[in-house]
Each structure stands twice: as structure tokens, then as C-alpha cells.
Structure 1
Amino acid sequence: MSLESSVKYHFPKTQNFTSMPPATASDALSGTDMMGAMGLTQSLAPLGYSAFMGKVGISKNDATRAVSLLQEIALQTCDKVAALRKLEIDIKPIVMQILATYAYLDHCQSAASKKPCPSCQASGFIDAEVFTMKSPFSGGTRRNVREVVRVKCHQCDGKGLVSSSCNDCKGRGRAVSRKLSEEQGVPVLCNCKRCSGRGYERIPSTDAFNAVCQITDALTLDTWKKTIKPFYDELITKLEIEEGYANSVLAKVAR
């Protein structure tokens, strides 16, 4: 039993009131067996379990808990970075919460994710200049008048959100290599260079930096790139490791 296969137990299609005998096969596990396995997994791997359940939309509480647990880890390890160690005592927890939040948002990214439209700032409308023929007075001479009006954003079609999938591979993670295709005479697929085979665009780390700058001006962009960004990337990697560990724990207890 894996974390992905356990999602179906949170969204049952029909209710089953018949008794099911306990067994070691994953397909024959009863509801009580699965509840016990998930509870034990949550106890042994709280961060990874909460991160996954929040990522797939099972529970917003799990997403909040994942950010909180990651913030605790960040507070325990941030002093190894000199710039973070020098932060004021009351500012440091807020900065760590921001880093943990953005790290979790990046961890939850997928080709199906949505992000605010950069053209309209998620409003769905943009300002555009138009020219219309108008007469300033009744019966006067008509002339072109330039006006600024609100029109529907063409990039997001007025929805305010756009897809996070890679523009080159369209979320598949694989794209046709023009060079190899010309050499071999047939279309050759390889990992997309733009997204490195992920199929989606990651959240820019500068977004986290800009959010931190709203709290304190003690950190510069140069310091962020040299010392804090590697620490921020470690938080993202930590989520991936913990989710993998939670998956292995569930596989063991639900055999």
C-alpha cells in the first residue's frame, strides 16, 4: 500500500456495510486496518504524511501542519546560516514561516497546478488603450478619442489563473529534440530542457525573498542567492525525503 493508493479510502464511491475479513493483502484490508495503518504512519512520519495529504487536497489541516512542522525544522537548523542567525529573535520565526510556506507551495506544484496570471495580477482584467470616434459636442466634428478601458485578459481568458505546466512540453516532461531528430531522421523525445523533465515550472525563489523583504530589510538579494537560497532549497528537499519515508512506512505497516 502506497500513499497514492490510500487516497481512494478518503473518497469512497459507495458505502460498504458488509464485513471484510482481515488479511495481509492490501486489497483485502478492512477499513479499520487502513485507519490503523494511516494512524501509525502519521505518528512515525508526521511531516511526510501531512505534506502528502495536504498536497492532494485531503485536508487543509494537514497542509497547515506540514508548514508548521517544516517551520520547526527550519528554526532548529537556520543558525548554520550566518545571515539567518543574526536576525532578531522576534523576526526569525516569521521569516522561517515564510520560507516553510513557500517551500511547501513549491513542493505541491504539478502540471495541473494553477498560479496567478502575471499579466492581470489575478484580477482577470487589464487596462487597454482604445480609440473611438466621438463628438465632444452635439453636432460637432467627430474625432478619434483615446480612452483607457478595462478589458478581459487574453492570457488567462478572464479567469485570473493560468496553468503551471511547462510551455515547451505542455506538462509531459518530455519534448522533441530538434537536433537528435534531424540526426536520426525520426522524432526523438528527451527530457524537456526548460523544466528538467518535471513537466511544470517551479515557484521562483525570488518570490520567497520578496515576501521576506516585507518583514525585514536585513537581508539583501546577494545574501539570499549565496547563502539563504541553498537553505531554502534544503527545506524543499526535506519535504521530498520525508514524503518518501512516509510512503515506505505505510508500505510496511499495510502489507
Structure 2
Amino acid sequence: MNLESAIKFHSPKSPNYTATTPATASEVLTGTDVMAAMGMAQSRAEMGYSAFLGKMGLSKHDSVRAITLLTQHALQTCDRVAALRKLGIDSKPAVMQVLATYAYLDYCRSAASVKSCECCSGVGFIDADVFTMKSPLAGGIKRNVREVVRVRCKSCEGRGVVSASCNDCSGRGRALDRKQTETQGVPVMGDCKRCSGRGYERIPSTEAHRATCNVTEGISLDTWKKSIKPFYDSLITKLEIEEAWANRSLAKVTS
């Protein structure tokens, strides 16, 4: 059993709590076996198991726990980066928490993710200036009157959120390779160059940098790009590695 198949046991739709589909044959794993397997997998790979459950939206507690564990990992390894090693005792834990939080948000991102619209700040409507021709009630010369009205935001079409899916491939991860198509004369599909085949746009690392600037002024943009961004990317990779380890642990326990 892998992590994806374990999701159904966290919110069962029926009292039939078993690891396999209903059949006339006897079950290999009982509900107790599944619960014990999940507990063992979580004890072996706590960060990866919590991160996965949080990514799937099953538990807010697991999301917080994954960020906490990633923050601890960042504190243990951040001294390898000179710019982070020079941070003060008070600011270093706060900076690590910011980096861990944004790394986790990027790890959870998918083509189905949505983000708040920057144009309308998530409201769905914006204020716009409208000029109309009006005349006094008793007659007279018409004049232009400036009014401020609320109109629907064009960026999000009034929803207040925009999709994180790639605009070129619409979240599929594959797009038309125009150069190969012109060469071969038939449509040729390939990995989307804009999203590198992920199907969604990653959170810009500059957003994490701006968040760290609210904690400390000791990290410039040049320092971020040269030394801290690779460390930030390693935190995202750490979550992916831990998830893979949790998946292998669960599969080994239930094999």
C-alpha cells in the first residue's frame, strides 16, 4: 500500500474499513493492520508523512507539524551558508520559519492550486473611474461627471482567485512543440518549456525573499540569489525526499 491509497482511510465513506475492495475472499489487511501500518510509517518518516497529509488537505495539524520539522532541519543545516550563519540569534529562527513555510507552500502547489488575485486583492471587484455626461435637472449645459464605481476584476473574472496552472499547457505539463511541428509536418507534443513539464507555476522565490525582509534587513537580493536561494530550493527537495521515504516505509510495512 502506498500513500495515495492510504488517503481513503482518513475519511472513509462507509463502515467497511479494509485495505482492499469488497470481495468474497478474505481480506489480507484488516482495519487494525492498516492503522498500525500508518503509525509505523509515520514514526519512521514523520516529516514526509505529515507533509503528504497536509498537502492532500487531510489535516491542518500535519501541515503545521511538517513546517515545524522542516524549520528544525533548516536550523540544523543553515550554518553551511555563510549569509545565514551571520544572522543574529533572534532573527535566525524567524528566517528559517519563513523559508520553511514558503518551501512547504511550494511543495504543496499543483495545477489545481489557486492563489489570491493580485489585481483585486482577492475581493473580485476593483474601483474604476467612469465619466458620464449629465445635465442639471432644470436644464442647462451637459457636463462630464467623474464617478468611482465597482466593476468586476478582469484578471480573475470576479472569483477573487486565479489558477496556478501553466497558461501555455493549461496544467497538462505538455504543449505543442512548434519547432518540431514545423520540421516534421505533424503535431509534436513535448514537455512544456514554461513550466518544465510540471503543469503549474512555482511560487516565485522573490516572494520568500520579501517575507524574510520583514524579519531582517541583513539579506539583500543579491545575497539571496547567490547563496540563500539554493538553500531554499534544498528545503523543497527535502520535503520531496521525505515524502518518497514515507511512501517506501508504508509500502514496506504493508508488503
Distance change in 2, residues 1:160/1:215 (3 Å): same
Q: How far does residue 139 in structure 1 lie from its aligned partner after superposition?
A: 2.5
Which one-letter code corresponds to 1:252 in the other structure?
Answer: K
The two structures have a TM-score, normalised by structure 1, of 0.93
Matches within 5 A, 1:128-139: 128-135=128-135, 138-139=138-139
Residues 17, 31 of structure 2: 8 Å contact kept: no
Structure 1 gaps of 5+ residues are none
Change (3 A) 1:107 1:136: farther
Structure 1 stretches of at least 4 aligned residues deviating more than 4 Å after TM superposition: none
Q: Identify the residue that residue 109 of structure 2 maps to in structure 1.
A: 109
C-alpha spacing 1:17/1:78, structure 2 compared with 1 (3 Å): closer
User: When the two structures are aligned, how many residues end up with a matched partner?
Assistant: 249
**Offset at residue 12 of structure 1 (A):** 1.5
- Distance in 2 (CA, whole Å) between partners of 1:249 and 1:241 is 12
Query: Per the alignment, in what secondary structure is the counterpart of residue 115 of structure 2?
Result: strand
Aligned to 2:46: 46
Are 2:192 and 1:197 aligned? no
Following superposition, the deviation at residue 136 of structure 1 comes to 5.4
Deviations 1:92-134 (A, max 9, x none): 1111000000000000000000111122122211222222122
Shift of 1:138: 4.2
Hey, what does 2:37 align to over in structure 1?
Answer: 37
Give how far 1:17 is off: 7.7
Corresponding position: 1:168 with 2:150 = no
Whether the aligned pair in 1 keeps the contact of 2:124 and 2:159 (CA below 8 Å) is yes
CA distance in 1, matches of 2:167, 2:17: 47
Could you tell me how far apart the structure 1 residues matched to 2:74 and 2:199 are? 28
User: How high is the TM-score relative to the length of structure 2?
Assistant: 0.93
1:75 aligns with 2:75: yes
* Matching of residue 98 in structure 1 with residue 98 in structure 2: yes
Q: Secondary structure at the match of 2:130?
A: strand
Given the superposition, is the C-alpha separation of residues 134 and 11 from structure 1 closer, same or farther in structure 2, using an over 3 Å criterion? same
Flag structure 2 segments of 5+ consecutive residues without an equivalent. none
Identity of matched residues, % = 67
Moved more, 187-196 or 137-146: 137-146
- Range 118-127 or range 45-54, more displaced: 118-127
Secondary structure, in 3 states, of the residue corresponding to 1:112? coil
SS at match of 1:175: strand
* C-alpha distance in 2 between matches for 1:9 and 1:153: 41
Post-superposition Cα deviations, 1:29-55, rounded to whole Å, max 9, x if no partner, equal: 111111001000100000000000000
Tell me how far 1:140 sits from its aligned partner.
3.0
- Residue aligning to 2:225: 225
Which segment drifts farther, 40-49 or 83-92?
83-92
| SS at structure 2 position matched to 1:28 | coil
Shift of 1:137: 6.3
- Report the counterpart of residue 28 of structure 2 in structure 1: 28
Distance 2:167 2:233 in 1: 24
RMSD between superposed Cα atoms in Å: 1.7
Amino acid at match of 1:92: K
Instruction: Tell me which amino acid in the other structure corresponds to 1:10.
Output: H
Q: Which amino acid aligns with 2:237?
A: T
Q: Distance in 2 between matches of 1:218 and 1:172?
A: 40
